[in-house]
Structure 1
Amino acid sequence: MNSPIRYRRSGRWKVSWLFVCTALLCLPFADLSISTYDPWAELGRLFGGLLQPSLAAIEAPIAALLQTLAFALLGVSGGALVGFGLAQLFHWRWLRMLCASLRAVHELFWALIFLQIFGLHPLTGLLALGIPYAATFAKVYAEILEEGDRRAYEVMRQRAGPLSAFFYARLPALWQHFVSYTSYRLECGLRSSAVLGFVGLPTLGYYLSTAFMEGNYAEVWALLILFYVIIASLKFWARPRLLPVYLIAAPFIIANDATISLANVSRFFIQDIVPLPLRNGEGLEGLWRWFSELFVSDALPGIVNTLLLTQLALVLTGFIALLWFPLISKLFFQRAGRMFGHLFLVVMRSTPEYILAFILLALWGPSMLPAVIALALHNGAIIAHLMGRYSHALSLRPDSPTGINRYAYEVLPGIYNQFLAFLFYRWEIIQRETAILGILGITTLGFYIDSAIQDIRLDRAMVLIAITAALNVAVDAISHNIRSRLRLTFGVKLGGVSSGG
């Protein structure tokens, strides 16, 4: 074995143990307590609702479902259209940096911003989904274009011009890649659209949060089951020929009587987000004092807790993915067993982290534990799904062992590089979700952002959101650097690792 390969394999194990040790060092500083009086009794009541799910007490469940679908379809399609245009210019460095900053801000943060500008107008939900999705589409579409075969395009361009060559030579060859990734993002958009209900938009999340806070667990499970059915049946109802019909109907579904106040829009940009010292004419010295106080009191503890929670969730995600991927691998289970494994992973990865954390917080009380578990379950299921699919490409010896020996000595070494690639790709996504979970009361950056918005101190909120975006961009850059040094690449085209969701 030559030394560069041996070095990279050694480096991958060293990096793995470095992250595990870092998580262990974080444990003493993380609040992982359970503070509710009788969490197991509450958990029993929660699962008791699963035995008798009911939509009877919910005012308009079908309307909420249609709202969720409409926001997702319009937000994702708008983001895809803009992202496709931006992908053609993605070689511009400033555009890449702008898109990295836009997609680093969670959809819920965008929703909180636009709520201050437009209120509960449909534009709030559409922009909250469309902006980060457009930035994500731009990045992934640009990667698809970059990796595609250009030979036919170069030949045709000399005779027909670049525009005709693109539409007749490049686009048809890459079309299926665009369709596959866009379909995956639609599933992510449905999860994001549902979560928007937690800030007041009339999607499933609004009714889910209301039912849960009232202890109506039969309604909670009915809504979740309805959502799982929509996700699981996506390939049946989201057919390309039906999408134009859906897109025509969607604006009429989300339309409401809310109006946009131009005075609110103007005040937001020329007053609300302008730092208080500048509004009071205190100059740069006053601005520095204001920022220093904000950084010490809010940003610094928020950053520390965000990083702590992220590292714990990242490592636990890795362990869960390694534990769960055999559930859908033909190397370990027959077809019937894999069907149950697929069903389990679909439920876990289809439930947004925010909803999982919301449920666990109500059961266990406000601490980092519900957030760590929620993030690890959701992201672990995603990586397990990808690894299970990837394991099918392995060829085992006829005399290969079975059971735990096959797992430890045959399969795991063969997929470990791919596992690290998936895990490090999810790192920035996990941190992005970690920040937003602060809205639920966990003292990450989202907690301080939400507090500032509730106190109508939007200047502070915007600075904290900018810090959150910068932190996410930094982690994404570190992750990319580690993957590059260890030569961790994706051996298969799997859209699920490309972004959040």
Structure 2
Amino acid sequence: MFASKNFRVSFIFVAIGLISFYFADLEITTIDATSLSQDFFLSIFSMEFNDYSVLLKAFLTTISIAVLAIFFSCIFGAILSLFFGSLVVRISLAFTRAIHELFWALIFLQIFGLNTLTALLAIVIPYSATLAKVYAEILQENDSFGDTLRGRDKLSYFIYTKIPGALPHLISYTRYRFECALRSTAILGFVGITTLGYYLSSSFMQGFYHEVWLILILFYILIASIKQWFNKYTFAPLVIASFLYLDDFSGFNFANLKRFFTEDIIPHPIKNDLGLQSTLSWFENIFANEILPGATNTLVLTQLSLLLTALLTLVLFPLVSSKFSSKPTKISAHVFLVVLRSTPEYILAYIFLQLFGPSMLPAALALMLHNGSIISHLIGHDTDAMKLRIDTTKRKTELYFYEVLPRVYSQFLAFLFYRWEIIMRESAILGVLGITTLGFYIDSAIEDFRLDKMFLLLIVTALLNILVDVISKKTREYLRATKNISTCQYEGK
């Protein structure tokens, strides 16, 4: 039964991916991609930066924003997790986390300007929604008492029965989420916040690839050393130090906030009393010229990237498993995967965009490498934990196809479809780089100060993400996966 389910899901998934491949724009448009690639990769041997004091400030700003963002997100996420059983709360949080933090940053730039408040809100809002969902799931999975204490005071029940058993998992997932916050903070530099991403973008545009590599290496070191400097002993000092370091919390203007909700995002025909016909024409024009092509391209890029992620995972996971690879190979592959999954998709796509030009190719490669490295790491770990029979074949190809792959395939599909909604969110936001997904039209609307159109496109983007999330969840339930990818991630798998 499980084999037939896996086959049916895989067949549909591959068929849709191949159709998407046919319609995808994968053209290389740079004049000399080979020469540009050589210049970029050879620059790693001459890393330097013009002003190290500026780089240090960006480094500290990145850490400080991420620390404060996760601090506030934990508080709001914990409170919201108490009410996650409410349908209204679940729907509201699903909508909130469906909008990428870079989109939130673009929204708050219009209200509060370019400052620390914008950066914090852009991360805190979607992260609070995500943490509320995961915290609620962790608390439910680690409820040792079940229904025996039902009817008691809810807060006491939460503090004294649920939290103690789930605390290690809550802390582990929060640490993982902090790593995500560092990546999110870095890419906020691409909209003007002076984090590491700001100087990465600036150096790349000027062709200073030696500076690009130095920034990337520093970022990898920052991610790799999280356990050493972000823990229960350092958390409180880091929060206090971040508050003191980030002294620019200005920008809140109630008049701007009121104008945004009462004027800016109200459709132009409605705001100017132009009547129903004008409103319908306004919507039809946006739907035909922006929503339809943007949503189509977002779905095409998502499904193509999902297929490429699956293929890369099937190739890479044996390299990080001791059942297939020697220790040196396993260590080298592990380092390679750590680098790939530590690099935000947006930064990878930006790099490939400079090398290959604006098409779906840079985005597809970025999404494939980042997500493929995450799933390969998880499947490789599961493969290592697998116990084989004494009479199992020693030939690697037979071991792979007839013993290991059939046993991990259901979990592989579950992990893949868990990343589906995440890939969709990233596919939309990568439009900011010039790829004609929904993000492209959202960014264009903001540049033209057509905030009513921007808001409509954001709603469509969120609804599309929610739809994919629902289908993904139903698919995982159909496959009856035994593990959740989020629990594997925060347990370090």
With the length of structure 1 as denominator, give the TM-score of the two structures. 0.94
CA deviation map 1:290-347 (0-9, x unaligned): 1111111111000000000000000000111111112221212243332212110100
Q: 1:99 Cα deviation (Å)? A: 0.5
On the 8 A contact 1:418/1:491 being kept in 2, the answer is no
Structure 2 partner of 1:13: 7
CA deviation map 1:52-79 (0-9, x unaligned): 1112345611111111111111112211
Q: Which letter maps to 2:305?
A: A
Task: Sort the Cα spacing of 1:119 and 1:493 in 2 relative to 1 into closer, same or farther, 3 A.
Answer: closer
On the 8 A contact 2:192/2:198 being kept in 1, the answer is yes
Structure 2 partner of 1:465: 458
CA deviation map 1:333-392 (0-9, x unaligned): 243332212110100000000000001011101000111000000000011111111112
Q: 1:12 Cα deviation (Å)? A: 1.1
On the 8 A contact 2:431/2:440 being kept in 1, the answer is yes
Q: 1:162 Cα deviation (Å)? A: 4.2
Q: Which letter maps to 1:289?
A: S
The one of 465, 485, 494 equivalent to 2:478 is: 485
Q: 1:166 Cα deviation (Å)? A: 2.9
On the 8 A contact 2:350/2:433 being kept in 1, the answer is yes
Structure 2 partner of 1:308: 300
Query: Residues 30-41 of structure 1 correspond to what in structure 2 (within 5 A)?
Result: 30-41=24-35
Task: Sort the Cα spacing of 1:288 and 1:495 in 2 relative to 1 into closer, same or farther, 3 A.
Answer: farther
1:294 is paired with a residue whose SS is helix
Count of matched residue positions in the alignment of Structure 1 and Structure 2: 490
On the 8 A contact 1:383/1:419 being kept in 2, the answer is yes
- 1:373 and 1:428 mapped to 2: Cα distance? 17
The one of 185, 190, 211 equivalent to 1:193 is: 185
Structure 1 partner of 2:312: 320
Q: Which letter maps to 1:390?
A: D
On the 8 A contact 1:153/1:166 being kept in 2, the answer is no
Structure 2 partner of 1:3: none
Structure 2 partner of 1:122: 116
Structure 1 partner of 2:404: 411
Q: 1:459 Cα deviation (Å)? A: 0.5
2:385 is paired with a residue whose SS is coil
On the 8 A contact 1:439/1:450 being kept in 2, the answer is yes
- 1:416 and 1:27 mapped to 2: Cα distance? 23
Task: Sort the Cα spacing of 1:167 and 1:46 in 2 relative to 1 into closer, same or farther, 3 A.
Answer: same
- 1:325 and 1:200 mapped to 2: Cα distance? 37
- 2:158 and 2:356 mapped to 1: Cα distance? 55
Between 181-190 and 256-265, the greater mean CA deviation after superposition: 256-265
- 1:152 and 1:172 mapped to 2: Cα distance? 14
Q: Which letter maps to 1:448?
A: Y
Percent identity for Structure 1 against Structure 2: 49
- 2:252 and 2:129 mapped to 1: Cα distance? 25
Q: 1:48 Cα deviation (Å)? A: 1.1
- 2:367 and 2:343 mapped to 1: Cα distance? 10
On the 8 A contact 1:121/1:260 being kept in 2, the answer is no
Structure 2 partner of 1:147: 141
2:323 is paired with a residue whose SS is coil
1:392 is paired with a residue whose SS is helix
Task: Sort the Cα spacing of 1:41 and 1:59 in 2 relative to 1 into closer, same or farther, 3 A.
Answer: farther
The one of 251, 275, 281 equivalent to 2:273 is: 281
The one of 160, 163, 172 equivalent to 2:164 is: 172
CA deviation map 1:100-146 (0-9, x unaligned): 00000000000000000000121111110001101111111111111
- 2:485 and 2:362 mapped to 1: Cα distance? 33
| Structure 1 position 62 matched with structure 2 position 56 | yes
Q: 1:497 Cα deviation (Å)? A: 8.7
Q: 1:492 Cα deviation (Å)? A: 7.7
- 1:73 and 1:497 mapped to 2: Cα distance? 18
Structure 2 partner of 1:252: 244
| Structure 1 position 222 matched with structure 2 position 214 | yes
- 2:486 and 2:368 mapped to 1: Cα distance? 23
Q: 1:223 Cα deviation (Å)? A: 0.1
1:324 is paired with a residue whose SS is helix
The one of 279, 297, 300 equivalent to 2:289 is: 297
The one of 421, 424, 429 equivalent to 1:428 is: 421
CA deviation map 1:85-110 (0-9, x unaligned): 11111110010000000000000000
- 1:457 and 1:208 mapped to 2: Cα distance? 29
CA deviation map 1:155-190 (0-9, x unaligned): 5x78x8543343222211110010111111011111
Task: Sort the Cα spacing of 1:377 and 1:336 in 2 relative to 1 into closer, same or farther, 3 A.
Answer: same
On the 8 A contact 2:26/2:359 being kept in 1, the answer is yes
Instruction: Say what the alpha-carbon RMSD is for the aligned residues.
Output: 1.8
Task: Sort the Cα spacing of 1:492 and 1:199 in 2 relative to 1 into closer, same or farther, 3 A.
Answer: closer
The one of 436, 442, 447 equivalent to 1:449 is: 442
On the 8 A contact 2:176/2:490 being kept in 1, the answer is no
